[in-house]
Structure 1
Amino acid sequence: MRFTKQKRHRKIVRFYTACFGFREPFKVLCDGTFIHHLSNNNLVPDKSVSSALAAPVHLFTTKCAIAELESLGRSYGGSVNSARRDFRLAKCEHDQNVSAYDCIVETVGDNNPEHFFVASQDVKLRKQCQKVPGVPVMYGLRNAVYLDQLSSFQREYVKASEEERLRMTDSEYKLLQKRVKKISNSEIDSSEEGNEDEISEPRALDNRKTYKRGLEIKDKAKFKLKRAKAPNPLSRKKKSKPSTPASNSGKKENAGSGATRSRPRKRKRSHKAQTTSGTPAT
């Protein structure tokens, strides 16, 4: 229950800050009935009201409300002392004391320029304040302080004011007409200058074409020929070490002997063997 109450109060406070320009610390204008309720229930005025609004507050009352409490008798002596001790005095332009109802209604006025929260236990005063746009109302119930919900009049007033902001005023409409005329005149002047330059346009076009052709020739991409790169060092054979003269002589001898041995020997036939084989035996 406490969480839902705080959530509802935050929404109402956010509405008044966004639509009517309320700012912290909030000003709370209290009458004698609300002060008497706080004193009877042993509630600290600053803490109870600030916890309800979840923000720092400044408590105000009027001299007419204090005079009304004093006229009620000794039973209201504690509330009179708390009003003088814990509350500030709002400006009240009454030479003679008036009832707290009339005094608070006059201080709030038609638009609530001081951005007051009105705290009262009087139902008549609360209903009257809800008829004024931008006047949030508070009241006490047992050991807690509550913020009254928005009235239908206040919601309709906010919607109407938003629609008026979206509409164009007479001064804005006149400025718009002047700007449209200037733009139209500048367009007419530019069109006349364009008609004068129609004769020189073909030459300019030819020059642009030739210039573009030159750019196209220069801007053509020149393909680079692929040149042979150096061989991969890992695929190359290792260089042979320089040989000594002794090893070279030995290699030559071996090469010579190998060459003689590698040649096939030719078989020579003797003539005697041919004659013996060719003649018959006697």
Structure 2
Amino acid sequence: MRLKRQKRVRKSLRIYITCFGFRKPFKVLCDGTFVHHLLVNRIVPADDALANLLGASVKLFTTRCVLAELKRLGQSYSQSLDAANNLMIARCEHEKLKAADACIAEVIGETNPEHFFVATQDGDLRKKFQEIHGVPIIFALRNALFLEPISASLRQHAKTLDEEHSHMSELEQNMLKKRVQRIKEELGDQDLPEQPVKKKLEGKNGMWVKDRVRFKRKKAKGPNPLSCKKKKKPENKNPGPTKKREDGNENATRSRSRERRRSRGHTQSAQAEN
């Protein structure tokens, strides 16, 4: 199950990175409910747990309104307040303090220009951000962290964005026409074709993102040379010519040479005895 969850998270992150411009290190905007849940279930340190979920380094943020809300909740949330004070503060434009959910909704806006991941345990806030494209939501169940799965409407929106990026804009078409006209004037060639160049980077699902990581297939290799027997040297089937006597009797020459060797050995032994 953990492996399947990691695959779903990586697939969702590819869409957020390619279609909505998210970059590493990822920025996570936490509310008070999420910080309190992490402390109660001992999911610490929080940045390491979120980094393991997203597979990259993270920066944790909160807002002044979230800190004020934790302070109003009293002594039971004092540890959560101390932990939230260690996070970086995301700037909220309103002058007066608001409720935590309203403050986070204002920081995110309609397009999420700062590319925040929203970490919350508030069900109403999660439903609200599910309707806004380009806002990934992180939540926790007991001692495990999850990334909200991508909805069908978000997939369709990402597909339309990819189709828009695959075609040239009017500005790019005008620039191309001017460049072609300039080349015609320089070369004096009036027969150059005027065809708009289209970017065509499509994958399996109509998107230019690769659906799967493609690994190189391993080719068959030869045997291990250390485990192979050494090749035997071929026997010489055609030995060199033998010396022959003038009469052509080979056997006579061999027997005579043997007799000579024996006689030499015999004479040497006899001299040694004398």
Relative distance call for 1:54 and 1:98 in structure 2 (3 A) is same
> Take 1:175 and 1:2, find their aligned partners in 2: how far apart are those partners?
50
The residue number in structure 1 matching 2:9 is 9
Matched, 1:127 2:136: no
Deviation at 1:15, TM superposition (A): 2.1
SS in 1 for 2:35: helix
Deviation at 1:146, TM superposition (A): 0.5
Deviation at 1:177, TM superposition (A): 4.6
Q: Deviation string for 1:5-46 (max 9, x for gaps)?
A: 222212212221222222222110011111111111111112
> Take 1:47 and 1:23, find their aligned partners in 2: how far apart are those partners?
18
> Take 1:59 and 1:176, find their aligned partners in 2: how far apart are those partners?
44
> Take 1:23 and 1:168, find their aligned partners in 2: how far apart are those partners?
25
Letter in 1 for 2:55: A
Q: TM-score, normalised by structure 1?
A: 0.61
Relative distance call for 1:176 and 1:138 in structure 2 (3 A) is same
Deviation at 1:187, TM superposition (A): 4.4
> Take 1:188 and 1:119, find their aligned partners in 2: how far apart are those partners?
60
The residue number in structure 2 matching 1:102 is 102
> Take 1:167 and 1:161, find their aligned partners in 2: how far apart are those partners?
10
The residue number in structure 1 matching 2:62 is 61
> Take 2:72 and 2:65, find their aligned partners in 1: how far apart are those partners?
11
Matched, 1:82 2:83: yes
> Take 2:189 and 2:52, find their aligned partners in 1: how far apart are those partners?
64
The root-mean-square deviation of aligned C-alpha atoms, in Å, is: 2.3
Q: Deviation string for 1:80-120 (max 9, x for gaps)?
A: 111113x1111112221101111111111222121111000
> Take 2:179 and 2:57, find their aligned partners in 1: how far apart are those partners?
49
> Take 2:179 and 2:38, find their aligned partners in 1: how far apart are those partners?
62
> Take 2:162 and 2:34, find their aligned partners in 1: how far apart are those partners?
34
Whether the 8 Å CA contact 2:53–2:146 is kept in 1: the answer is: yes
Deviation at 1:188, TM superposition (A): 5.9
Letter in 2 for 1:150: I
SS in 2 for 1:83: helix
Q: Deviation string for 1:231-269 (max 9, x for gaps)?
A: xxxxxxxxxxxxxxxxxxxxxxxxxxxxxxxxxxxxxxx
Worse-superposed segment, 34-43 or 4-13: 4-13
Deviation at 1:64, TM superposition (A): 0.3
Deviation at 1:144, TM superposition (A): 0.9
Relative distance call for 1:178 and 1:21 in structure 2 (3 A) is closer
Q: Structure 1: where are the runs of 5+ without partners?
A: 190-282
The residue number in structure 2 matching 1:207 is none
Letter in 2 for 1:97: L
Aligned length: 188
Relative distance call for 1:46 and 1:173 in structure 2 (3 A) is closer
> Take 1:59 and 1:188, find their aligned partners in 2: how far apart are those partners?
60
SS in 2 for 1:93: coil
Give 1 or 2: higher helix fraction.
1
Deviation at 1:141, TM superposition (A): 0.4
SS in 2 for 1:104: helix
Whether the 8 Å CA contact 2:19–2:161 is kept in 1: the answer is: no
Deviation at 1:136, TM superposition (A): 0.7
> Take 2:134 and 2:73, find their aligned partners in 1: how far apart are those partners?
32
The residue number in structure 2 matching 1:174 is 174
> Take 1:107 and 1:175, find their aligned partners in 2: how far apart are those partners?
37
SS in 1 for 2:134: coil
> Take 2:80 and 2:127, find their aligned partners in 1: how far apart are those partners?
24
Whether the 8 Å CA contact 2:26–2:58 is kept in 1: the answer is: yes
Q: Deviation string for 1:201-248 (max 9, x for gaps)?
A: xxxxxxxxxxxxxxxxxxxxxxxxxxxxxxxxxxxxxxxxxxxxxxxx
The residue number in structure 2 matching 1:276 is none
Q: Structure 2: where are the runs of 5+ without partners?
A: 192-274
Letter in 2 for 1:26: F
